[in-house]
Amino acid sequence: MTTSNKLEVKNLSKNFERKISLSSLSFIIKQGEKIAIIGPSGAGKTTLFNLFTGSLPFEEGSVDIDGHPLEYWKRKKQLANKIGVIRQQFDLVDSLPVIHNVLAGRLKDWGFFKSVWSLIYPQEKQIAFNALKRVGIEDKIFARTSTLSGGEQQRVALARLLVQKPEIILADEPVSSLDPARSEDILTMLTKLADEENQTLITTLHSVEFAKKYFTRIIALKNGKLFFDLPAEKVTTEELTNLYRLKELSP
Ligand SMILES: Nc1ncnc2c1ncn2[C@@H]1O[C@H](COP(=O)(O)OP(=O)(O)OP(=O)(O)O)[C@@H](O)[C@H]1O
CB neighbour burial string for 63-86, b if at least 16 within 10 angstroms, e if fewer: bbbbeeebeebeeeebbbbbbbbb
In a domain? residue 162: yes
246 CA to centre of own chain: 27
ipTM for the whole complex: 0.94
One-letter amino acid of 22: L
**CA gap 251, 181 in Å, rounded:** 43
In a domain? residue 63: yes
Question: CA geometry: angle at 227 spanning 31 and 21, to 5°?
Answer: 90
| CATH code (residue 14) | 3.40.50.300
Q: What is the DSSP letter of 78?
A: -
pLDDT along the chain (251 residues), means of 10: 79 87 93 95 92 88 94 87 84 87 73 62 79 91 92 90 90 87 90 91 94 96 94 94 76 52
In a domain? residue 168: yes
Q: Is the minimum distance from the CB of 45 to ligand 1 under 6 angstroms? A: yes
Overall domain count for the chain: 1
Which atom number of ligand 1 is nearest to the Cα of residue 56?
1
In a domain? residue 250: no
Model-level pTM? Answer: 0.87
Mutate to test the pocket of ligand 1, among 16, 52, 88 (most ligand atoms within 8 A of CB): 16
Q: Tell me which residue range forms the domain holding 27.
A: 5-244
Which atom number of ligand 1 is nearest to the Cα of residue 206?
25
